[in-house]
Structure 1
Amino acid sequence: MTERRVRVRLRRRWVALAAVVPALLLAACVQVPFSGPVQPGGEVEGNIDAEFDFLPSGPAEGASQEEILAGFLAATTASQNNYRIARQYLAEDAQQVWNPYAGTLVRSREGIVARVDDSTLSYTAAVSAEVDGLGRYSSAGESPQELAPFRFVEEEGEWRIAELQDGILISQQAFPSAFSQHSAYYYDPAFQNLVPDLRWFPTRAEVASRIVRAVLEAPTSWLEGAVVSAVPEGAALAAPVTVTGGVAQVDLTDEVLLIDDAQRRALKRQLEASLRNVSNVASVQLTVDQNPVQVTDGPLGLDVPPQVDARLLVRTEESFGFVGASGVEPLGLLSERVLDLQATAVTLGPSGTLAAALTDAGVWSVRTGEAPAALLDARAGLIAPSVDGYSFLWTTTASGAGGIRATELNGTIHAVEAPIAEGDRVVSIDVSRDDARMLLLLDGGSGPRLVVAAIIRDVQSNVPVRLGRFEELPIVGGTPIDAAWVDEVRVAALVSDVDGALAQLLEIGGRSRSLGRPADAVQLVGGNGGAEGLRALTVDGVVLEPRGSGWQSTGARAVFLGIQQ
């Protein structure tokens, strides 16, 4: 094999690891659709450590090159003991240098194996997704790719793989059991909220250490400018993370000793949030050279993820408030003002004392106290507003005329730059509960677009300045209706096609699937509890909830559903 062919680009190097996944592996895995039309399915499981092991067999005596390759690929789904079984398929020298953690490619269907010469095989496959060495997932194209070849040698009369490149490739059917998802957390610049960055790691490969290494690095690029880290510059993990009695010992380099106690407290909280879904981890002990670093208690008790009132917020013909056992429970003067304004859409802020209300006249701030409702944006063609934890009301028109505004309660308007393409119609905007991200549903010339973007704020005043680059999410085609935050790393979109309304669940930095068809739905809102907390409103005012692969009536009726930020 020539030097040039060995040093192919990263994608080709990773895919060189995967030629064939045997029928046994395919039969053992749950079939999860990642290409073609979206079909109804079960709940996307998130933030869960798999509690079972897949143990493939080692190489059989007398196996051919093709059989060795197939066995190796099956074994790369088992990361136990540093991919011990997979390494048995490699020549002795290759076992020492192969790094399976450099990255992962996920193939969407079977590839084609071809022989290059007596000791070399090549492979062509379609790759649907990539996971880099820090666990960042990204979708990839479906077109066939000719992948880098790899070479075999005989050792003691048996074929073994002698040349291969770092990383692994597995089927999309095997991916959910071979990898688990976790969030690496960062702070907003004010250190008021923890912001998640979804990552994927092999389920049995020192997950805690890999999460910590991810946190010590920069966030995914589209979040830059909206998040910061408590990690001191230059800090690194000095030893693998160990867990004893529920305490994860994170041994870092001595940069940690140079920061003050407030930053160490923030760092400890950042790591605890990031490790919270690792089995048996309840807290973190920072150490340097295995010696404990003292961190005093402080006020950084942030909710992860942030929660809202579990009750449904609705506007009925007679009232506005939370649905309770005895009917709709109003929010005092705020509810009275919403009714007086004849609002057509309301977003309730995290404090529960401030709301943004849309009426025929424009968007109003509505509060529970003595302050009267105030008209803050009177532009024509406004869509449903959003509100954030800093009491900015977010507004824009469907046409995009006048751009996105973030308005203070005193009426001060701040124009927010956003990379909305000319001709795109804005269907919905929703600020995340961590105040660091914006979800936008757009209707463009080529169809619907669902995007998330970082909210870049002035560091001193927290005034929103601009949205970062748009991170596209793979929404289905049709006419966009509505979108909502499901939880801190998942969103949902409602689109209408020839068969009616279709709801879709999408992970930000992960996979997507259908949530079925809520018949005649015109609005979608999130709550708590993931996808089970979603509610849809039909054109006839019936409130629906997801049940299995379908939607059923909750028994409640509404004019519109209130959004809880």
Structure 2
Amino acid sequence: MPDNGGVGPVEASPKQPQVRVFAKPPRKNAPPSEIVEGFLEALTSDDPKYSMARKYLTKKARQVWQPDLSTTVLADGPNADTERTSRDSDGGGYTYALSGRRVATVNEQHAYQPEEGAYTETVHLTQRKDGQWRIDRLPAGVVLGESDFQRSHHAVNKYYFASRSSSDGAEAQEPRLVADPVYVRRWSDPVTETVKSLLKGPTDWLDPVVVSRFPTDTRLKKGTKALAPDDQNRLRVPLNERADRVSTSQCSRMAAQLFFTLKGVISSGVEQVELEKANGDTLCVLNADDADAIAPHRTVDSPGYQYFIDAEHRLVRLPKTKGSMEPVPGALGSGEQKLRTAAVSRDEDRAAGVSAGGQLLFVGSLLPGAALEPTKVRSEGKGEPDNRLTAPSWDGRGDLWVADRDPDNPRLLWLGQGEGDPVEVKVSGLEGGRITSVRVSADGVRVALLVEKDGKTALRIGRVEREGTAEQPEVAVRKLRKTAPRMEEVTAMSWAGGSRLVVAGKESGGVQQLRYVHSDGSVSSGTALPGLTAVTGIAASEDDRLPLVASSEDGIVRLPPGANWRTVVKDGSAPVYPG
């Protein structure tokens, strides 16, 4: 530590940890309790192969221990439970009990799964012939406190293509890339580990609705130890013989998956990806322009406007950064039909609006003079508008979604291309809950739902499965999972990228707060959001350079990057970006 000189500020980067932890080897003649503590501390280190942690194990235990099998995340570090710690009856060993509050588990696929509950495991020690105590039996995988997990692991999006279904028409667009979030260790060559994980395929939860363009059993070429970009951010990836015979177009799609996956891993970005055959020949080369042309990871270009409902119940728009509001072109901006909520298609050509009373859904073009077209969606809910239709949502395929909150007939509805007869979506896992808000991801593969049950509203993410035919499509939402498990009451939410959402809600006994969460249920470690009072709606863009927009007791407000909330208009509600 310096003992003289001035004091100056230190700029901390939110993307890289500023502290590295180095484990210590076991001390000679250390007692059993110190061995256990030393081993648990070694698990928190940045040692890529856990070589120091293995020094606390017997030879046999080192051979069978599989630290990559799983990671258990606890609210705090594992604690030694003295009441359950005991010495063996023959005096030859000790059993130490570990306890804690489980937060999540990261499985062998690196997938994060929220998992609240008690954690209880044991560690057994034995004394070697030289008198040194070592661990001979221990739980599978690794156990970490939440703060150590966030410091030592990095959230990464792998990318796969959305699956086509039998209900897709011949004119269906090229499937979009879908983000599959996983966690990799920061100091264990994250580039190589991420590529290996991508090649092994999507996580189990996402697997039924996505495909990889890499042939089955494609892996890195045998003998490849580490991947790293050159000084011009070009990365060469040698593959095994399974990829030797792919076509040029397939190879380009394989490279696009790699390109967008690695953009989130290499801090300086990646400019070019080159795939190699097993014999060293080039399969294909893909740069940034080619990647965007082949598989745009955003559904559309950056939106031109932000939208909301004004005091006259019209759909109005704001330029995305500066400028004054104006009614949208067409009937939805004329005031001809009073609106409660609205949604704008991702290409900003059409919009859907729910009537002021919440009973009816309309669709109209955003062209001057365009007429308003009523859909066949109607809610029969009684009483307040909150018992009728939610705000609608467009996916990247051009399909329209809306939920009916009628207590006597709650349902989720889907309209192909925003027209025709609505299809009732089968939703598994609601367990008696009622959908009160719906937001579909740009790729159309995942849907975020606010589900009300027993007076509480929680955020759930489900995967969208499409079946049937183009004439008789069947749509289902399956495998709902918790996405903000610590929030007892969620008020509003919006997709904010490939696998991230922004959520307004509060924890038990707490005040309302704004937070970014990942679609797998983990909390984003990015910059905290400034507080805002009484948030009733929030909107975010896939383009993270654009401001958040919210409705609160201060009216319609915007949060530009690096600034604080600023009021745009005093009277307004239901803010949305396209989608």
Normalized against structure 2, the TM-score is what? 0.79
Per the TM alignment, residue 516 of structure 1 is displaced from its structure 2 partner at its CA by: 7.1
Contact kept in structure 2, 1:482 and 1:522, CA below 8 Å: yes
Deviates more, 1:351-360 or 1:551-560: 551-560
Contact kept in structure 2, 1:91 and 1:153, CA below 8 Å: no
Flag the 1:77–1:311 CA change in 2: closer, same or farther, 3 A.
farther
The aligned counterpart of 1:179 is 153
Kindly provide the amino acid, as one letter, of the partner of residue 412 in structure 2: I
Flag the 1:248–1:89 CA change in 2: closer, same or farther, 3 A.
farther
Flag the 1:307–1:165 CA change in 2: closer, same or farther, 3 A.
farther
| Distance (whole Å) between structure 2 residues aligned to residue 422 and residue 74 of structure 1 | 41
Confirm or deny that 1:227 pairs with 2:210.
yes
1:315 to 297, 309, 314: 309
1:115 to 78, 81, 86: 86
Matching of residues 245-264 of structure 1 within 5 Å: 245=230, 246-264=233-251
| Distance (whole Å) between structure 2 residues aligned to residue 531 and residue 519 of structure 1 | 23
| Distance (whole Å) between structure 1 residues aligned to residue 466 and residue 568 of structure 2 | 42
Confirm or deny that 1:397 pairs with 2:400.
no
Confirm or deny that 1:328 pairs with 2:334.
no
CA shift digits 1:494-522 (9 cap, x unpaired): 34788764445432224348967532222
Question: Higher relative CO (CA 8 A, sep ≥ 6), structure 1 or 2?
Answer: 1
2:348 to 338, 352, 362: 352
Contact kept in structure 1, 2:244 and 2:278, CA below 8 Å: no
Contact kept in structure 2, 1:500 and 1:517, CA below 8 Å: no
Kindly provide the amino acid, as one letter, of the partner of residue 116 in structure 1: R
Deviates more, 1:423-432 or 1:535-544: 535-544
Matching of residues 129-148 of structure 1 within 5 Å: 129-145=104-120, 147-148=121-122
CA shift digits 1:466-513 (9 cap, x unpaired): 112211224456655322223322223334788764445432224348
The aligned counterpart of 2:252 is 265
The aligned counterpart of 2:297 is 303
Kindly provide the amino acid, as one letter, of the partner of residue 405 in structure 1: L
CA shift digits 1:78-115 (9 cap, x unpaired): 24342232233334454455332121112223422413
Contact kept in structure 1, 2:448 and 2:460, CA below 8 Å: yes
Flag the 1:322–1:552 CA change in 2: closer, same or farther, 3 A.
closer
Kindly provide the amino acid, as one letter, of the partner of residue 478 in structure 2: G
The aligned counterpart of 2:169 is none
Kindly provide the amino acid, as one letter, of the partner of residue 259 in structure 1: V
Per the TM alignment, residue 431 of structure 1 is displaced from its structure 2 partner at its CA by: 0.8
Flag the 1:58–1:208 CA change in 2: closer, same or farther, 3 A.
same
Confirm or deny that 1:520 pairs with 2:534.
yes
Per the TM alignment, residue 270 of structure 1 is displaced from its structure 2 partner at its CA by: 0.9
| Distance (whole Å) between structure 2 residues aligned to residue 540 and residue 314 of structure 1 | 14
Matching of residues 91-110 of structure 1 within 5 Å: 91-109=58-76, 110=78
Flag the 1:244–1:388 CA change in 2: closer, same or farther, 3 A.
closer
CA shift digits 1:32-71 (9 cap, x unpaired): xxxxxxxxxxx996xx454653223222233222212212
CA shift digits 1:296-327 (9 cap, x unpaired): 66631413597643754233347711145341
Per the TM alignment, residue 459 of structure 1 is displaced from its structure 2 partner at its CA by: 8.8
Deviates more, 1:71-80 or 1:479-488: 479-488
Flag the 1:103–1:235 CA change in 2: closer, same or farther, 3 A.
same
The aligned counterpart of 1:376 is 375
2:427 to 412, 418, 427: 418
The aligned counterpart of 1:448 is 457
Kindly provide the amino acid, as one letter, of the partner of residue 332 in structure 1: P
Per the TM alignment, residue 223 of structure 1 is displaced from its structure 2 partner at its CA by: 2.3
2:517 to 506, 522, 529: 506
- Where does structure 1 lack aligned partners over 5 or more consecutive residues? 1-42
Aligned to 2:228, what secondary structure does the other structure show?
Answer: strand
Normalized against structure 1, the TM-score is what? 0.81
Aligned to 1:469, what secondary structure does the other structure show?
Answer: strand
Deviates more, 1:63-72 or 1:312-321: 312-321
Confirm or deny that 1:534 pairs with 2:548.
yes
Flag the 1:500–1:85 CA change in 2: closer, same or farther, 3 A.
closer
Matching of residues 439-478 of structure 1 within 5 Å: 439-445=448-454, 447-458=456-467, 461=470, 465-475=475-485
1:285 to 265, 274, 277: 274
Per the TM alignment, residue 214 of structure 1 is displaced from its structure 2 partner at its CA by: 2.0
1:210 to 188, 193, 217: 193
Per the TM alignment, residue 155 of structure 1 is displaced from its structure 2 partner at its CA by: 6.6
| Distance (whole Å) between structure 2 residues aligned to residue 305 and residue 153 of structure 1 | 61
Aligned residue pairs: how many?
518
Confirm or deny that 1:557 pairs with 2:553.
no
| Distance (whole Å) between structure 2 residues aligned to residue 168 and residue 306 of structure 1 | 41
| Distance (whole Å) between structure 2 residues aligned to residue 409 and residue 170 of structure 1 | 47
The aligned counterpart of 2:493 is 483
The aligned counterpart of 2:414 is 406
Confirm or deny that 1:433 pairs with 2:442.
yes
Flag the 1:498–1:55 CA change in 2: closer, same or farther, 3 A.
closer
Confirm or deny that 1:387 pairs with 2:373.
no
1:154 to 128, 149, 153: 128
| Distance (whole Å) between structure 2 residues aligned to residue 558 and residue 475 of structure 1 | 33
Aligned to 2:49, what secondary structure does the other structure show?
Answer: helix
The aligned counterpart of 1:340 is 336
Per the TM alignment, residue 259 of structure 1 is displaced from its structure 2 partner at its CA by: 2.9
Aligned to 1:285, what secondary structure does the other structure show?
Answer: strand
Flag the 1:100–1:434 CA change in 2: closer, same or farther, 3 A.
same
| Distance (whole Å) between structure 2 residues aligned to residue 69 and residue 414 of structure 1 | 58
Deviates more, 1:376-385 or 1:480-489: 480-489
